[in-house]
Each structure stands twice: as structure tokens, then as C-alpha cells.
Amino acid sequence: MEKQIPIFNTLKEICDWFGLPSTELIGEDFMLQEIDQWNKNKLLNAPDNYKANFFTIFIINEGSATHLYNDEVINLESSGIFITNPGHHRNYKFDHLAEACFICFTEKFLADQCFSDIYQEFPFLLSESFIYTKADPENYQIIKYNTNQIKKEIHRSPDQKMVLIGNMVEFLLIKIKELFQNQLHNFTDNNNNSVVNTFHRDLELYFNEILERKKPKQLGAKDFAALQFLNEDYFSVVIKTKTGRTPTAWINSRLLSEVKMLLTETSVPIAEIANLFQFTNSRYFNSYFKNQTTLTPAFYRKSLHRR
């Protein structure tokens, strides 16, 4: 029986799983957790692998750790920075770690507290691989100071706490980006399991079920994101950035392609095609098709048969 991999969609879920205090959890979208609070008993509850629907910046101050992925052991050392993005598998071992911290935040945190073109400025946040880099002594001290300032801000309660933390996270990302220009270890994820390829496989399966008359539930971008346990906005940004088209555009393109195929290569009645793709009625289907092609389904079919 295949082992079920835990999937955490919120920061609170992962705190509850590890039995950690949620005192460092700021709202639902940001957390800074120091590793010295993770004692051996808590680590015994850790799964071998898990997936999380949020960003993690793992900063190692003293000691070492490992991350196992696809039978590859990634050695993480002092002054190292290890970044995982939403949807990645995670598998940490902290046997020799003395001091480190996890900074975790959601896509919503970035959207609410950071500047609007965050992914354009920091494209590594869309990477479908693990990112690891080591800071030189000077930059490490800057990063450590910044991290300590975030910790201090968490324990204060000013009205603009989240805005200030957002600014500090932006500064941290800027320093990490500078480090990436000098040295970067990119642990490429299995291409078959990338967000884009998984989306195309899910899309193929969905339309195959439609054509097989299985009447699957109608799926939109939000549903395809949920199939990968990803936030819809983050999922959409990844697909758009890597393919040049939004998930909705891909869905509509495939829908139109299948409709055209049925109109040109079969004699299935137009009303049945409309029902097959779960349009509420033939009139709505005709309007949709004409909007996409400038022709009604009937005229489109007739014009091809005249050739």
C-alpha cells in the first residue's frame, strides 16, 4: 500500500502536525519559527516527505542539515539559505543543527504586503526546483541582522506590523537575489512533475472523461490549482509565466479544439455537443462558439462539409 504524503495548505496545519507552538504564527500568512524549538520528540512525528502550499526560506546559522529528494541528499551548511516554493516535496533532517530558522509565508502575504510585481522582481519564487545558496560572511551578517529584526517586529504590536514585516521580507529577498547572481545550486525537480506538465496531464484526463461521456464536474483554473494543492493565484502566475497563457486560456483553447473536432469529424447533433460540454443550453453554446470563431456551430459544420 502506497504511503500517503501529508499535504499542508496552511501554516497552522504544519504547526499542529509537528506539535509546535503557534506563538510565532502571525495571522494565517506569516511565521518565523526558530529551529531550537524543534526538539527530538517533535521531530519523531515528522513524515519522511510532505508537501506544503506556502513559501519557506530555511536559514542555517550554525550546524548542518540535509534534505532528501529523489534519492539525492542535499547537504545544507552554516550560512546556507534553502528555498522551497508552494507544492514542493520537503524532507528535512536536523540531526546536527544547532541554530536555524524557517521563515514561512503564503502567496497572499506577498500579494498583500509586498510590491505588485514581486514575481517579476524575484523570479526564483516561481522556480519549480529547490534553491540553495551559501552567503559570504558579510552578507550572512546582513541576513542574520534582518532576520533578527523580523523576530523583534513579531513580538511588537504596532498597527503597521505586517507592513513592516513585508518590507523586511522584501529586503531579505533582495539580498538573496544578489547572492543568486554569484552562486546558485539549483536542484531541478523531475520535469514530469512540474506544475505546467501536471496541469497539461490533468487537462488531458479531464477532456478525455468528457469525450467518454463520464460527465465530470466542470473544472476551472481554481480546480486545476487545487488538484496540485496550490493557491489559485500562484498556480496561475506559474502557468502564465512559463507558457505565456493563463490556465483559463488553455482550458478554453482545449474546449474549442474538442468542439471543432466533434463538429468536423462526427455527426453528433449540436445540442448533444452542447450538453456533453455542460453548456446550460444550445443558445448559450451557440453564443460561446460564435464569440470564439465568428461562426455559429451549424454554419461552421456546414461550411466545412461544402469543401
Q: What pLDDT shows up at residue 171?
A: 92
Query: Cell 468542439, residue?
Result: 259
Residue 285, CA distances (Å) to 156, 254, 282, 289 in order: 57, 15, 5, 6
Q: What is the mean pLDDT of residues 248-265?
A: 93
Q: Note the pLDDT of residue 193.
A: 66
Above 80 in pLDDT, residue 47?
Answer: no
Looking at the chain, list the stretches that DSSP marks H as alpha helix, in order from N- to C-terminal side. Answer: 11-18, 40-43, 107-113, 118-121, 137-154, 161-182, 195-211, 221-227, 232-243, 247-265, 270-276, 282-293, 297-305
pLDDT, position 51:
86
In this prediction, residues 29-57 reach a mean pLDDT of 74
pLDDT tops 70 at residue 191: no
pLDDT at position 242: 86
Q: Choose the weakest-confidence range: 76-85, 120-129, 137-146, 240-249.
A: 120-129
Q: What is the pTM of this model?
A: 0.78
Average pLDDT of the chain, as a whole number:
84
pLDDT of residue 90: 84
**Dihedral sign (CA 104, 9, 76, 48):** positive
pLDDT at 41: 52
Grid coordinates representing 149? 529584526
Element housing 268 (H / E): none
Report the alpha-carbon distance of residue 28 to residue 87 in Å, rounded: 18
Question: Rounded mean pLDDT of 287-307?
Answer: 84
Q: Which residues, 6+ apart, have CB-to-CB distance to 54 below 8 Å?
A: 8, 10, 11, 86, 104, 105, 106, 107
**pLDDT at residue 296 in the model:** 93
Cell numbers linked to 75: 547537504
Are 168 and 153 in contact, with CB atoms under 8 Å apart?
Answer: yes
| C-alpha cell of residue 133 | 545558496
| Helix/strand/coil percentages in the chain, nearest 5 | 50, 20, 25
pLDDT at 133 over 60: yes
Residue whose C-alpha cell is 460527465: 215
Say if residue 202's pLDDT is above 90: yes
Please list the residues that pair with 73 across neighbouring strands: 68
179 versus 276: the higher-pLDDT residue is 276
Residues 10-42: tens digit of each pLDDT: 898 888 887 776 666 788 899 998 876 555 555
Query: What pLDDT is stored for residue 45 in this prediction?
Result: 55
Asked if pLDDT for residue 245 goes beyond 50, the answer is: yes
